C-alpha cells in the first residue's frame, strides 16, 4: 500500500489567521470607523490588521486605559509599580574579597620537556637511569617557606596605616593587657544561662572577613570592656577583629607570623597580653600585644618538617606542644633557646590536640589519628612513658579536652560521627578505669574543604559545650554534659555557612564561629 504523506500547509497570513481564530474574533467585534464592511480588519498606521492582530491591539489599549485611570501616562514609569523593588546589598565588614578575573580561553600547547628539549628548543642530554631526554634535576622551591627566625613586627599587611593609626591600634591592643578580666561565677544555673542565650543575636556588623583563607582556629580575649576576636587561617595569617573600632578595615587587622596552617591559637590564661599560635610550619610564636611584636616560643628543626598541632599551658611560663610525629614536648620559656625541655612519644601517629588538667597540672591528655585518647602523668615519664588511661575510638579522634573547672570529664570528637563524654574523676586510682558516660550521635563528616569539628567546653562551665553542625539551616549547637541539645545559634540571613571552629567568652555572652572562607560570625 502507498503511504500518503501529508502536504505541509502554507504559512499563515493575516487572512488565514482570521479564519483560524474566527470564533474568537466574533466575540470581540471591532466597530471602529477604520474597520471594513465585515468588521474583521482595522487600520493601524495605514496598515490593515486581521482579527487576531486587532484582538491583541485591543488588549493593549485596555491595559493602557487602566494605567491612564491610575494616573500613569508613561509605560516606563509604570514599570516601577509592577516590578519588585531591589533590596540593597548589606555592607561587608572586614577584608575585601579578591575580585575574580575572567578566565581566559584554555590554549592547548605541546610540552618542550616531553619533546626532550629545553625552553630554547635545544635537545636535552640523556640522563642515565631515566628515560631519554629527561629534564635535568632542579631544586624544589618551597612556595611557603618558614618566616625568618627572630621577632616579627606586628605590621598590618592589609592596611598600610599611617603612623598615627598604627600607634592608636597598638594602644588599644596594649589596653587589653591592663584591662579588667572577668571572674568565673559558678553559681549560675544552666537553665538561666541557656535562657540568656536567647537574647544573643547576630547582625550585618557582626559578620566580618578577618583572614583571606580557611579558618583553622579562633579565640576570644577575656576582657570585660573590649571585644577582641582572633583567627588563624590556612596560610599562616593571624586576623585580629577589634569589634566596634573603625581602625584598619572596620576594626580588622591582618598579620603574617607563620607560613602554614595555624591549627591552634590561644591567650595565655596567666598573661592575657600574650597570644600564642601553633603552626604546621613547625613553630610556636606569641604576639606580645604590649610591645607589638611576634616572638618565637618554640622552634623545630626545619629539615625535619615537623608540624606543631596544638598547645596548652601548665603555668604562666611552661606549656606543652602536640607534634605531628605522635610526640608531645614540654617547653619552659624561662630557659635560653627555643627548644623543648622534654619530648615524649605518646602515639604511633600524629597528634591532633593536647589538654592540661585544670587542677592537677601534671595530667596531660592527648588524642591522635590512631583512634586513641590517652592520659599521661608527667611525674612518671621515664624512658617508657606510662599511660594511666587509654580511651579507644573506632576512628581518628579530632579533639579531646578536659572539662575546664574540675577536669573530671573528658569530651572527645571522633570521625565515627560521635561525641563522647568520659568520667575521669578516679585518675589517681590506677585500678579504676574511665567509664564512658555518654555517646552522642553527631554528624562530624566535614569532608575535604571544611576544617574538622572540635567540640569544646564552655571555658567557665563543666556542664556545657559547643560544636559546629552540618544541618540546615546552618547553626552552632550547644549541648549539656548529659548529651542533650539545649540551644542552637542560627540566623538564615547572616549565618549561611558551616562554622567548624567556635569559641565562647569566659564570662560574657559572646560566641564566635569561623568558616572556611575566612569569616567570623559573632553572636552577642
For residues 467 and 483, give the distance between their C-alpha atoms in angstroms, rounded to a whole number: 12
How far CA 231 is from CA of 202, 203, 241, in Å, comes to: 18, 19, 9
Interval 215-269: pLDDT, tens: 999 999 999 989 999 999 999 999 999 999 988 888 999 999 999 999 999 999 9
Identify the pLDDT of residue 53. 86
Q: Which of 384, 385, 358 is nearest to 374 (CA)?
A: 385
Identify the pLDDT of residue 482. 96
Identify the pLDDT of residue 140. 54
Identify the pLDDT of residue 150. 92
Identify the pLDDT of residue 174. 87
Between residues 323 and 336, the one the model is more confident about: 323
- Those residues with Cβ within 8 angstroms of residue 284's Cβ, 6 or more apart along the chain or in another chain: 276, 277, 278, 296, 297, 298, 299, 308, 311, 319, 321, 331
Q: What is the mean pLDDT of the chain?
A: 84
Identify the pLDDT of residue 269. 92
Query: What is the average pLDDT across 336-363?
Result: 95
Helix (H, G, I), strand (E, B) or coil at 62: helix
Question: Residue 122: is its pLDDT beyond 70?
Answer: yes
pLDDT tier at 186, thresholds 50, 70, 90: low
Give the sign of the dihedral formed by CA 111, CA 116, CA 117, CA 118. Answer: positive
Say if CB 524 and CB 510 are below 8 A apart.
yes
Identify the pLDDT of residue 17. 45
Say if CB 239 and CB 211 are below 8 A apart.
yes
Question: Residue 9: is its pLDDT beyond 60?
Answer: no
For residues 479 and 485, give the distance between their C-alpha atoms in angstroms, rounded to a whole number: 4
DSSP string, 153-209: E---SS----HHHHHHHHHHHHHHHHS-B----TTS-HHHHHHHHTT----GGGEEE
For residues 330 and 334, give the distance between their C-alpha atoms in angstroms, rounded to a whole number: 12
Which ranges of 384-499 would DSSP assign to H, the alpha helix?
none
For residues 101 and 121, give the distance between their C-alpha atoms in angstroms, rounded to a whole number: 32
Identify the pLDDT of residue 132. 47
pLDDT tier at 24, thresholds 50, 70, 90: very low
Interval 51-61: pLDDT, tens: 888 888 888 88
Identify the pLDDT of residue 63. 85
Question: Which residues are bridge partners to 363 per DSSP?
Answer: 377
Bond into 473 cis (ω within 30): yes
Cell of 234: 590556612
Identify the pLDDT of residue 135. 47
**Percent of the chain scoring above 90 in pLDDT:** 59
Identify the pLDDT of residue 430. 65
Query: What is the average pLDDT across 22-50?
Result: 50
Between residues 17 and 327, the one the model is more confident about: 327
Cell of 213: 583563607
Identify the pLDDT of residue 163. 64
Cell of 61: 489599549
What is the pTM (predicted TM-score) of this model? 0.77
For residues 487 and 504, give the distance between their C-alpha atoms in angstroms, rounded to a whole number: 14
How far CA 217 is from CA of 59, 77, 155, 515, in Å, comes to: 64, 53, 21, 10
CB-side neighbour CA atoms (13 Å) of 22:
5
Interval 54-111: pLDDT, tens: 888 888 889 888 888 887 766 666 566 666 666 666 667 788 777 666 666 666 667 7
Give the sign of the dihedral formed by CA 197, CA 399, CA 492, CA 210. Answer: positive
Interval 430-457: pLDDT, tens: 667 889 999 999 999 999 999 999 999 9
Cell of 99: 575580585
Query: What is the average pLDDT across 299-317?
Result: 92
How long, in residues, is the chain? 524
Between residues 112 and 163, the one the model is more confident about: 112
For residues 112 and 291, give the distance between their C-alpha atoms in angstroms, rounded to a whole number: 53
Identify the pLDDT of residue 30. 43
User: Domain extents for the chain?
Assistant: 26-78, 164-523
User: 34 in the Ramachandran plot: left (φ > 0), alpha (ψ -120 to 50) or beta?
Assistant: alpha
Identify the pLDDT of residue 50. 80
Query: What is the average pLDDT across 411-418?
Result: 97
Measured at the CA of 445, the angle between CA 439 and CA 450, to 5 degrees, comes to 130
Query: What is the DSSP secondary structure assignment for residue 257, as one 8-state letter?
Result: S
Helix (H, G, I), strand (E, B) or coil at 80: helix
How far CA 457 is from CA of 276, 398, 406, 436, 476, in Å, comes to: 19, 15, 12, 17, 13
pLDDT tier at 3, thresholds 50, 70, 90: very low
pLDDT tier at 503, thresholds 50, 70, 90: very high
Query: What is the average pLDDT across 386-409?
Result: 95
Identify the pLDDT of residue 87. 62
Please tell me the CATH code under which domain 164-523 is placed.
2.130.10.10
Amino acid at each position: 500500500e502507498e503511504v500518503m504523506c501529508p502536504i505541509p500547509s502554507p504559512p499563515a497570513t493575516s487572512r488565514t489567521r482570521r479564519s483560524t481564530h474566527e470564533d474568537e474574533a466574533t466575540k470581540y467585534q471591532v466597530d471602529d470607523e477604520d474597520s471594513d464592511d465585515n468588521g474583521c480588519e482595522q487600520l493601524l498606521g495605514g496598515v490593515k490588521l486581521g482579527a487576531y492582530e486587532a484582538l491583541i491591539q485591543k488588549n493593549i489599549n485596555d491595559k493602557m486605559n487602566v494605567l491612564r485611570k491610575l494616573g500613569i501616562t508613561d509605560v516606563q514609569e509604570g514599570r516601577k509599580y509592577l516590578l519588585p523593588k531591589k533590596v540593597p546589598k548589606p555592607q561587608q565588614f572586614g577584608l575585601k574579597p579578591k575580585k575574580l578575573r575572567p578566565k581566559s580561553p584554555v590554549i592547548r600547547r605541546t610540552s618542550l620537556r616531553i619533546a626532550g628539549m629545553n625552553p630554547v628548543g635545544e635537545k636535552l642530554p640523556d640522563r642515565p637511569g631515566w628515560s631519554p631526554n629527561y629534564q635535568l634535576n632542579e631544586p624544589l622551591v618551597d612556595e611557603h617557606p618558614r618566616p625568618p627566625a627572630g621577632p616579627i613586627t606586628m605590621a598590618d599587611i592589609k592596611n598600610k596605616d599611617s603612623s598615627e593609626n598604627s600607634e592608636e591600634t597598638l594602644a588599644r591592643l596594649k589596653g587589653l593587657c591592663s584591662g579588667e578580666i572577668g571572674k568565673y561565677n559558678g553559681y549560675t544555673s544552666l537553665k538561666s544561662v541557656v535562657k540568656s542565650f536567647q537574647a544573643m543575636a547576630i547582625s550585618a556588623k557582626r559578620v566580618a572577613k578577618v583572614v583571606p583563607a580557611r579558618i583553622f582556629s579562633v579565640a576570644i580575649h577575656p576582657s570585660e570592656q573590649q571585644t577582641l576576636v582572633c583567627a588563624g587561617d590556612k596560610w599562616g595569617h593571624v586576623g585580629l577583629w577589634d569589634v566596634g573600632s573603625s581602625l584598619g578595615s572596620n576594626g580588622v587587622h591582618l598579620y603574617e607570623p607563620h607560613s602554614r596552617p595555624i591549627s591552634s591559637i590561644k591567650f595565655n590564661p596567666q598573661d592575657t597580653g600574650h597570644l600564642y599560635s601553633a603552626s604546621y610550619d613547625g613553630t610556636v610564636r606569641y604576639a606580645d600585644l604590649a610591645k607589638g611584636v611576634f616572638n618565637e616560643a618554640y622552634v623545630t628543626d626545619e629539615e625535619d618538617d615537623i608540624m606543631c598541632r596544638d598547645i596548652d599551658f601548665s603555668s604562666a611560663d611552661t606549656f606543652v606542644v602536640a607534634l605531628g610525629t605522635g610526640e608531645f614536648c614540654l617547653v619552659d620559656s624561662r630557659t635560653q633557646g627555643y627548644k623543648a625541655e622534654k619530648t615524649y612519644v605518646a602515639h604511633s601517629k600524629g597528634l591532633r590536640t593536647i589538654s592540661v588538667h585544670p587542677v592537677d597540672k601534671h595530667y596531660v591528655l592527648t588524642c591522635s589519628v590512631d583512634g586513641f585518647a590517652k592520659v599521661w602523668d608527667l611525674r612518671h615519664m621515664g624512658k617508657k612513658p606510662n599511660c594511666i588511661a587509654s580511651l579507644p575510638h573506632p576512628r581518628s579522634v579530632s579533639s579531646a579536652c578536659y572539662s575546664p573547672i574540675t577536669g573530671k570529664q573528658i569530651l572527645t570528637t571522633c570521625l565515627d560521627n560521635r561525641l563522647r563524654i568520659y568520667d575521669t574523676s578516679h585518675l589517681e586510682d590506677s585500678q579504676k578505669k574511665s567509664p564512658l558516660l555518654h555517646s552522642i550521635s553527631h554528624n562530624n563528616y566535614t569532608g575535604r574543604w571544611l576544617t574538622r569539628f572540635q567540640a569544646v567546653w564552655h571555658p567557665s562551665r563543666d556542664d556545657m559545650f559547643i560544636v559546629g553542625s552540618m544541618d540546615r539551616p546552618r547553626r552552632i549547637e550547644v549541648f549539656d554534659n548529659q548529651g542533650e541539645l539545649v540551644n542552637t545559634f542560627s540566623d538564615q540571613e547572616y549565618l549561611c555557612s558551616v562554622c567548624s571552629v567556635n569559641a565562647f567568652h569566659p564570662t560574657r555572652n559572646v560566641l564566635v564561629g569561623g568558616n572556611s572562607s575566612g569569616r567570623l560570625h559573632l553572636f552577642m
